[in-house]
A and B are shown apart, each in its own frame.
Chain A
Amino acid sequence: MKRRTFLGGAMAVAVAGRGSSALAQQPPVKIGMSMAQTGGLAGGGKASQLGIEVWRDDVNAKGGLLGRKVELIVYDDKSSASETPAIYAKLVDVDKVDLLFAPYATVPTAPLMPFVKQRGLLLMGNFSFQVNSKVGHDMWFNNAPWGPADSWASSFLDLGQKAGGKNMALLAADQEFAQNLALTARDVAKQRGLPVVFDQSYPPNTVEFSSILRALKAAKPDIVYVASYPPDSAGILRAVNEIGIGDDVKIFGGGMVGLQFAAVMSNLGSLLNGVVNYNTWLPEPSMYFDGTKEFFEKYTKRAVEAKVDPLGYYLAPFGYAMGQMVEAAVNSTKSLDQKGIAKYLREKEHKTIVGPIAFAADGERKETATLQAQFRGVKDKDIEQFRSSGKQVILFPDKLKTGSLISPFEAARK
């Protein structure tokens, strides 16, 4: 071996050794969060956490943040709003975390907002809906693609009205997220002069939806907008199949949480056909950005072992994107100063594996990227079918669109 080559190699080893020992010696950057590990939101919570963990491992493999290893401190909030305030107080005051990620979903996040505003803390939101609308905290940034509050209902009602819908029915769970969706749907319908012929909220733990569906069907709606939580979505679709929904219905779905999760999708199988529902990421050609494919390769390998949603489309890549945004902000500002990170997040557009993200003043996306997609050709008991394109055709937004609505609903189910 030539002397120069040997010296070069020795120096490289020394530098690498010093780098890794420095990474090991410095205190880690602690990121704290609560996450639903049990309760109704646990399916989503676990998938979201795995997405964040994939990012943590990637960023640590690159040397961490500011040369420090990233460590996640996670507590189970049991899907309950009453658990999170105490958990976040502990994360800040006892665990002394450097940054906070919000729990998955609206219900556990809502009670945190006054706390983080009062303390002036940055909170990376994780798929909640309009929790900052009344609080107005300027250090809140939601990773979800919702965009302006009314865009979700508008996109669905646009599709329904273009298909000839002249009135609508609204069925929503008595939960903060679903009620927020229902509220915006009512507002949009009012602005458009679209009569609401059926408007019902049902309580959590409703066992049987046949009675509600019979009443809904009797109102003869054209557009049926449903805002439901995972335990209910399956019950509602089953009842639709059994009771029928009427030939007038042009479009059905909109805001059903759960139809994005592999276990629910696999259980429902062909009952999903024809439903138009919101989504966040789907394996359609328009949805691949830098790193998307690599992320899903890593996620898929780990999901089976972790007993987590094997597809992971809905939340996991957005958990990763949340990490990517913080990583870019910390690297650019070269600091963990939360005000500096918030300023960076507010002013720049961020490249992520779920596409470019820019924030409006309220911390929500400037522009909606919430998909409305129609289930088509779904067979029973086959999770793998959802990995290919064409099973959930994107109808909205236009720049990500991969097909057009099939209507009426009964025709689309065949």
Chain B
Amino acid sequence: MDLLLGAVVLGVLLGCFYAAVSVGLSVSFGLLDVPHVAHPAFLVLASYGVYQLNESYDIDPLLAGLALTPLFFLFGLLAYRVYYETFERRGSDAGVRGIAFFFGIAFIIEVLIILQFGVDQRSVTATYIGKSWRFGEFRIPIRQLVAFAVALALTVLLAVYLSKTFMGRAIRAVAQDEEALRLMGANPVRIKQFAFGIATAVLGIAGALLIIVAPVEPTLDRAYIGRTFCVVVMAGLGSISGTLIAAIILGVAESIVLTLFGASWAPAISFAMLLGVLAVRPQGLLGR
């Protein structure tokens, strides 16, 4: 019973971390319909940025992640503009060619990281990494609690931004009906570009959480493609609160399987759950 309770607690923490690394994709893929397969590569790039700031200037990883968000915002604006001009503007086969474009970007990022940092694993130091909080026999890694708290705050903030602010509502509107927005005099491309910038900026913080939770290496993005897309699709495209719920379900399921049923089954969990959700509710947990 203790083991099961522990697995659920650790699973919730892991799930919130999965939400943080997926929530940007929920905007770019879920709301904007951009086949952003380079999302995990952007995430790993952010982790290396955090590593560099931590290593060279001894800046706390979370602060380093925060410092990177404006840079990543600009990077997102640029990436979307190139994608739009090269693919989206030209027509109907943008989807498939767009996937190739983002795969290309992911590959370039991988190579650049290898050239700059080499292939070895990198990790950061902070007072909360490597220690745990003790409740009797039960211990929780503090880095996971930090990741949990920051991830939760990040997801809630983004959900509030998209539902309460003018720009956030515009982003939702462009996702629902781009043509109607154009008829009302707004420029959907600019709004989508701004939204893509936000989705990328969020990765500054998510990248910090990634390297706080575990060491990173240049090809780590490949491990996260499946998980992040699974969370976003399972959540219901574009649903931020759905992303949090789906990620927590995935985290708890993985943690229970790892603890009680054998680790070998864990990778199958995300896809089994995805198939299950799509079979019963094709629009995702909170999709419309």
> Which A residues have a C-beta under 8 Å from some C-beta of B?
37-40, 42-43, 46, 174, 200-208, 210-212, 214-215, 218, 230-231, 234-235, 238-239, 241-244, 258, 261-264, 267, 271, 307-309, 380-381
Instruction: Determine the chain B residues whose CB is within 8 A of the CB of A214 once the complex forms.
Output: 3, 6-7, 10, 259
Tell me, in angstroms, the Cα distance from A309 to B216 when the chains sit together. 16
Cβ-defined contact, B259 with A46, below 8 A: no
Q: Which of A42, A43, A207, A307 contacts B213 (CB 8 A)?
A: A207
Taking CB atoms and an 8 Å cut-off, the chain B residues in 113-154 that contact chain A are: 114, 118-123, 125, 129-132, 139, 141-144
Cβ-defined contact, A242 with B130, below 8 A: yes
Pick the interface stretch among B67-75, B164-172, B185-193, B217-225: B217-225
CB distance from A230 to the nearest CB of B (A): 7
Instruction: Determine the chain B residues whose CB is within 8 A of the CB of A307 once the complex forms.
Output: 118
Instruction: Determine the chain A residues whose CB is within 8 A of the CB of B132 once the complex forms.
Output: 241-243
Tell me, in angstroms, the Cα distance from A201 to B213 when the chains sit together. 21
CB distance from B256 to the nearest CB of A (A): 8
Tell me, in angstroms, the Cα distance from A193 to B112 when the chains sit together. 52
Cβ-defined contact, B264 with A174, below 8 A: yes
Q: Which of B11, B141, B223 contacts A205 (CB 8 A)?
A: B223
Cβ-defined contact, A235 with B131, below 8 A: no
Instruction: Determine the chain A residues whose CB is within 8 A of the CB of B156 once the complex forms.
Output: none
Cβ-defined contact, A263 with B121, below 8 A: yes
List 22 contacting pairs A-B, 8 Å CB cutoff, sorted by A: A37-B119, A200-B263, A200-B264, A201-B263, A203-B264, A203-B267, A206-B263, A206-B266, A208-B144, A208-B258, A210-B144, A211-B258, A212-B263, A215-B3, A231-B215, A231-B217, A235-B215, A242-B141, A261-B120, A263-B121, A264-B120, A264-B215
Tell me, in angstroms, the Cα distance from A307 to B119 when the chains sit together. 9
Q: Which of B123, B266, B267 contacts A267 (CB 8 A)?
A: B123
Cβ-defined contact, B267 with A205, below 8 A: yes
Cβ-defined contact, B215 with A234, below 8 A: yes
Instruction: Determine the chain A residues whose CB is within 8 A of the CB of B258 once the complex forms.
Output: 202, 206, 208, 211-212, 215
Cβ-defined contact, A210 with B118, below 8 A: no
Cβ-defined contact, A38 with B114, below 8 A: yes
> Which B residues have a C-beta under 8 Å from some C-beta of A?
2-3, 6-7, 10-11, 14, 110, 114, 118-123, 125, 129-132, 139, 141-144, 213-215, 217-220, 223, 254-255, 258-260, 262-264, 266-267
Given contacts A234-B215, A242-B131, 18 further A-B contacts (CB under 8 A): A38-B110, A42-B119, A46-B118, A202-B258, A203-B267, A208-B10, A208-B144, A212-B259, A214-B7, A231-B215, A235-B215, A239-B141, A243-B132, A267-B121, A267-B122, A267-B215, A271-B130, A380-B125
Q: Which of B3, B114, B213, B215 contacts A208 (CB 8 A)?
A: B213
CB distance from B116 to the nearest CB of A (A): 9
Instruction: Determine the chain A residues whose CB is within 8 A of the CB of B254 once the complex forms.
Output: 211
Q: Which of A235, A243, A271 contacts B139 (CB 8 A)?
A: A243
Residue of B nearest to A267 (CB): B123
Tell me, in angstroms, the Cα distance from A38 to B139 when the chains sit together. 36
Residue of A nearest to B124 (CB): A267
Cβ-defined contact, B263 with A207, below 8 A: no
Residue of A nearest to B266 (CB): A203
Cβ-defined contact, A38 with B214, below 8 A: no
Instruction: Determine the chain A residues whose CB is within 8 A of the CB of B129 once the complex forms.
Output: 238
Tell me, in angstroms, the Cα distance from A244 to B132 when the chains sit together. 9
Q: Which of B120, B125, B141, B263 contacts A381 (CB 8 A)?
A: B125
Residue of A nearest to B257 (CB): A211
Cβ-defined contact, B123 with A211, below 8 A: no
Cβ-defined contact, B10 with A211, below 8 A: yes
CB distance from B27 to the nearest CB of A (A): 23
Instruction: Determine the chain B residues whose CB is within 8 A of the CB of A235 once the complex forms.
Output: 214-215
CB distance from A288 to the nearest CB of B (A): 26
Tell me, in angstroms, the Cα distance from A37 to B110 when the chains sit together. 12
Known contacts A201-B263, A211-B259, A218-B3; A43 and B120 CB within 8 A of each other:
yes
Residue of B nearest to A203 (CB): B267
Tell me, in angstroms, the Cα distance from A204 to B217 when the chains sit together. 14
Q: Which of A200, A211, A264 has the largest count of B CB atoms less than 10 A from its CB?
A: A211
CB distance from B257 to the nearest CB of A (A): 9
Cβ-defined contact, B141 with A230, below 8 A: no
Residue of B nearest to A46 (CB): B119
Q: Which of A43, A202, A207, A258 has the largest count of B CB atoms less than 10 A from its CB?
A: A207
CB distance from B115 to the nearest CB of A (A): 9
Tell me, in angstroms, the Cα distance from A215 to B262 when the chains sit together. 10
Q: Which of B3, B258, B266, B267 has the largest count of A CB atoms less than 10 A from its CB?
A: B258
Cβ-defined contact, A210 with B213, below 8 A: no
CB distance from B61 to the nearest CB of A (A): 13
